Each structure stands twice: as C-alpha cells, then as structure tokens.
Chains A and B, each alone.
Chain A
Amino acid sequence: GENVEQHPSTLSVQEGDSAVIKCTYSDSASNYFPWYKQELGKRPQLIIDIRSNVGEKKDQRIAVTLNKTAKHFSLHITETQPEDSAVYFCAASGYSTLTFGKGTMLLVSP
C-alpha cells in the first residue's frame, strides 16, 4: 500500500518568514496530493491540492510543488502570519483512499 512520510514534525518561524513542509510517497500510481490544515480542536480543511499532471500550483500565499520522478511534494507558505499556526497534513491518493502523513505542527510567532 501507499506510505507517506512528512517532515518536519514541528516547525517554528517568525511572522513574515516562509515555511516549507515536505512529503514523500511510495506508490508511483498515486496521482492526487492534497494538503489539509487543522487548527486546534477543529476539523481538517483542504487548503490546496495538486494532481500529477501539474508541477506547481499557487493560491495567494500558499504553493505546492510536485516532483513525480522523485516522488515528493512540498507545501510552501510565504509571509507567514500567526493565524497560519496549525497542524498541516499532506496526503496521497491513487484510485481510492487517501493516505495521510503524520502531520507538521507549524508555530508562527508574532
């Protein structure tokens, strides 16, 4: 089955800095890679996703890159703000179920 590794497990940055979270996957058949944000005590919510026919996707301060050859994808957050503090999960999916990474706790200090 699919295996998704996510790093780092925690990330502390100063407000205004950039943050990068990296994930690797094992199944070359995976073709859908979403990122979810989970604030403390709340449900995970999709923030951005990318499909295997695209190398990069941006949405305001958030971007995701995908390297299919190396089987890794990354989340980039620029100009971080305190409200970006949360746990971020990457996931990979082929034809049925999502496999999630273990999560990254991002702490943005004012």
Chain B
Amino acid sequence: DGGITQSPKYLFRKEGQNVTLSCEQNLNHDAMYWYRQDPGQGLRLIYYSQIVNDFQKGDIAEGYSVSREKKESFPLTVTSAQKNPTAFYLCASQNGANTEAFFGQGTRLTVV
C-alpha cells in the first residue's frame, strides 16, 4: 500500500521539551515537505527537502529542525525554542515541482 505515513497521530509534550514527528513515504518521491496548519491560517511551510542530505527553510522555520538522511524519511523536531508549538502538522511529498502533493494524515501536537 503506497503512501505517506506520519506518526504518531496525537502527541502531548510538556513545555520546554523537544519532540520529533515522524514522516515516511514509499512513493519514491525526491521532494518532501513539512507544513503547519492552524485554524484560519491555511498551510504554512516549515521546511522542505528536494534531495537526500539537503533541506531548506520555509516561511516559518524558527524553532524547528529537520534531517533527510534517507529518501523515504523526513523527520521534524519541534524544539523548545518554538514559542507556540501546539498545532496540526502535515508532511507531504511530491514527484518534482508543480506536481500533486501527497499528504500524510497529520500529527496533532499539544504542548501542556
């Protein structure tokens, strides 16, 4: 079953803790993306990677970090420097620019 998988679906963390969200795809796509979704804000780009071992900051990268050691995996770490981390996080992949983006089912992060 091909697709893009995020885990976990729900995540609770205390303030000041780092947390890592997982994103795996078996679509053989080179490009992967992380978006943050807040009510009424649409999807805002955090980080993206167009090839293994390379990634670029998106519009709201502060307080986040990523790695791309394997083509299939693009984990996102929400660090303690992120001032308002509670949100719905979506991972996506594309088979090149200007093609359909395939999304994971999302991770809802709540910081208490």
Q: In the docked arrangement, what's the CA distance between A6 and B105, Å?
A: 24
Please tell me the number of chain A residues within 8 Å of chain B, measured between CB atoms: 25
Contacts between chains A and B (CB distance < 8 A), count: 51
Please tell me the number of chain B residues within 8 Å of chain A, measured between CB atoms: 21
Do the beta carbons of B97 and A43 come within 8 Å of each other? no
Taking Cβ atoms with an 8 Å cutoff, the residues of B that contact A are 33, 35, 40-45, 48, 50, 58-59, 90, 97-98, 100-101, 103-106
A sample of 12 inter-chain contacts (CB < 8 A) reads A34-B100, A43-B103, A43-B105, A44-B90, A44-B103, A51-B98, A89-B42, A89-B43, A95-B97, A97-B48, A100-B42, A102-B41
Taking Cβ atoms with an 8 Å cutoff, the residues of A that contact B are 1, 6, 9, 31-32, 34, 36, 42-46, 49, 51, 89, 93, 95-103
